Amino acid sequence: MSTLPLQDPSSLPIPDGQPSTKRQAAFLRDAVYRFPARYRVVWLALVFIIILCLVAAPAAFHTDSIRFILAIAGVLAIASTGQLLVVMLGGIDLSVPAIMTFAGAIVVHQSESQNGKLVEAIVVAIVIALVIGLVNGLLVAVVKLNALIVTLAMAGVVFGVSLLWVGSNYSSTGTVPETLGDFANSNLGPISIIAFIGIGVIVIIALLLRSTRTGRSYVASGTNPAAARVIGIRVIAYEVGGYVAAAGLYAIAGILLAGLLRNPNETLGAPYQLQTIIAVALAGAALGGGPASVVGTWVACLFLGFVTQFLTLKGYSGGVSELVNGALLLIAVMLVTVGSRVRSAVRFLHRRTNAASREAPSASSP
């Protein structure tokens, strides 16, 4: 009996509009893969707080207020990017406020409020911060100590050294050099120069993590360290490097914040212990390690800047602010945790459905 030759499906005529539909479906699948729900939540939160400010606190959009929000968001974005690098490795850095405060104190102390000594003071502050990050990284990655314990202990050590070395006033005047103060308080139109620096840091880190082999290896080291070692990635080196880079970013944030305030004190970095973790969590980062949205971290910092300004304009006390920050952290962690469990359940059901559909024809065949 003769049989008809099988026809290649690719040679069959395609109805009008089908290729476009397929391309659209592929684009949507790619968008959902690159921007999962946990990354989109922070954008919705930003839209919500902007609408709330427009309705209940329109003064938040005055020029001076916008400059303040963007300046604070820029400082927070730089520090939060450092925290993000640590969280991507599966840790949490509690030495953020200590390093930020110490960096600002060193700049004031070493420069003695003189513009001529500013560059030297900044270099000293950043180098010392990098050394602190190196110690953190070695204790966590090589000695295998718990990251929370190591960084919390390091925060105490740094605060103690700061008091012994520079004291509580940092210098006879207690102010940063005029050049640093003027630079940190300068603006390009309605946008603070610190906001541009924060955006620059975000863009650089995002490009490094996404577009370079080193960045992809860094992400793999945090996602699955055992598998990364198998394929030849030097996980320990990336872990140590992550803590070093994070400490450098904390120092830069502390120096800029000191310049913004002009008269920094020992509470300079205190709010950033919790706020950096909130920003990273709101951006959708899994606190157990793995890939995260660097751009989402900037959006989260903007959101927190608007929240802070809204509470200030409405006259709420510091206690309310701390309450709101704690609630935001709980909500962010809850959303990430519940979201990952829902995704796992959906994938499991999808696999079960596919397996059942494959088994059904074979079971019905004679």
pLDDT digits (tens, 9 = 90+) for 89-108: 999 999 999 999 999 999 99
How far apart, in whole angstroms, are the C-alpha atoms of residue 47 and residue 43? Answer: 6
Q: In whole angstroms, give the CA distance from residue 323 to residue 336.
A: 20
Who's near 210: CB < 8 A, 6+ residues apart?
216
Query: Helix 63-87 vs helix 272-282: angle between axes, to the nearest 10 degrees?
Result: 80
Provide mean pLDDT across the span 129-134.
Answer: 98
- pLDDT exceeds 80 at position 16: no
User: For residue 286, how many C-alpha atoms fall within 13 Å in the half-sphere facing its CB?
Assistant: 17
Residue 357 is predicted with a pLDDT of: 66
| pLDDT grade for 4, boundaries at 50, 70 and 90 | very low
Residue 346 tokens read as 């959906």
- Residue identified by tokens 């699948």 is 29
Q: How far apart are CA 74 and CA 302, in angstroms?
A: 8
- Where is 187: in which H helix or E strand? strand 187-188
pLDDT digits (tens, 9 = 90+) for 137-167: 999 999 999 999 999 999 999 999 999 998 8
Residue range 64-89: mean pLDDT, rounded: 95
- β-bridge partners, 289: none
- Domain coordinates in residue numbering, the chain: 59-333
pLDDT band at 291 (very low <50, low <70, confident <90, very high): confident
Alpha-carbon distance of 173 to 17, in angstroms, equals 73
C-alpha distances (whole Å) from 98 to each of 24, 92, 162, 163 are 49, 14, 9, 11
DSSP state, residue 139: I
Other Cβ atoms less than 10 A from the Cβ of 59: the count is 12
Of 248, 243, 257, nearest to 73 (Cα)?
Answer: 257
Radius of gyration for the alpha carbons in the chain, expressed in angstroms and rounded: 25
Residues of the chain with pLDDT > 70, as a percent, come to: 82
| Residue tagged 């079960």 (tokens) | 352
What residues pair up with 192 in beta bridges, in sequence order? 187
Query: Within 10 A of 62 (CB to CB), how many other CB atoms are there?
Result: 12
CA separation for the pair 251, 129 (Å, rounded): 6
- CB-based contact 285:39 (threshold 8 Å): no
Average pLDDT, rounded, for the chain: 86
Cβ-defined contacts of 32-40 (< 8 Å, 24+): 35/293, 36/284, 36/339, 36/343, 37/339, 38/284, 38/335, 38/336, 38/339, 38/340, 39/283, 39/284, 39/293, 39/296
Q: What 8-state DSSP symbol labels residue 192? A: E
